[in-house]
Amino acid sequence: GAGVSQSPRYKVAKRGQDVALRCDPISGHVSLFWYQQALGQGPEFLTYFQNEAQLDKSGLPSDRFFAERPEGSVSTLKIQRTQQEDSAVYLCASSLGALGGALSWFFGPGTRLTVL
């Protein structure tokens, strides 16, 4: 596709349930980010991939959060045993380049997760 896509767009989970959020970056983009955006706030960094390598996962809030990008393209963010505080929009962004500076980031539409 022409842009970054994410699925599902909306997810409702019961507390304790595991969820998996998918990101399809722009084809050929080396860098991929996940951000968490709580209601009424700006996005906050979760993790960064350069191709299949997860180079920074310091933003993941707990060990219940896990992200992977096994073939250097599609990425999945998995949240185990969801809690109400996990309710947020999860944004994915990709960039052609491999360096920081976020020079040309393209964001997906996000997945809105609601944990009941």
Partner 1 sequence: AQKVTQAQTEISVVEKEDVTLDCVYETRDTTYYLFWYKQPPSGELVFLIRRNSFDEQNEISGRYSWNFQKSTSSFNFTITASQVVDSAVYFCALSEKDNYGQNFVFGPGTRLSVLP
Contact positions vs partner 1 (CB under 8 A) = 33, 35, 40-45, 48, 55-56, 58-59, 89, 91, 93, 99-110, 112
> Would you say 27 or 58 has its CB closer to partner 1?
58
16 versus 100: smaller Cβ distance to partner 1 = 100
Q: Closer CB to partner 1, residue 20 or residue 59?
A: 59
Backbone angles phi, psi at 40, to 5 degrees: 75, 10
- Minimum distance of partner 1 from residue 45's CB (angstroms): 5
State the nearest-atom distance from the C-beta of 104 to partner 1, in Å: 8
Report the nearest approach of partner 1 to the CB of residue 107 (Å): 4
Phi then psi for residue 89, to 5 deg, are -95, 130
Cβ distance to partner 1 smaller for residue 25 or 110: 110
Q: How far is the CB of 55 from partner 1 (least distance, A)?
A: 6
Quick one: which of 30, 39, 44 has its CA closest to 105?
A: 30
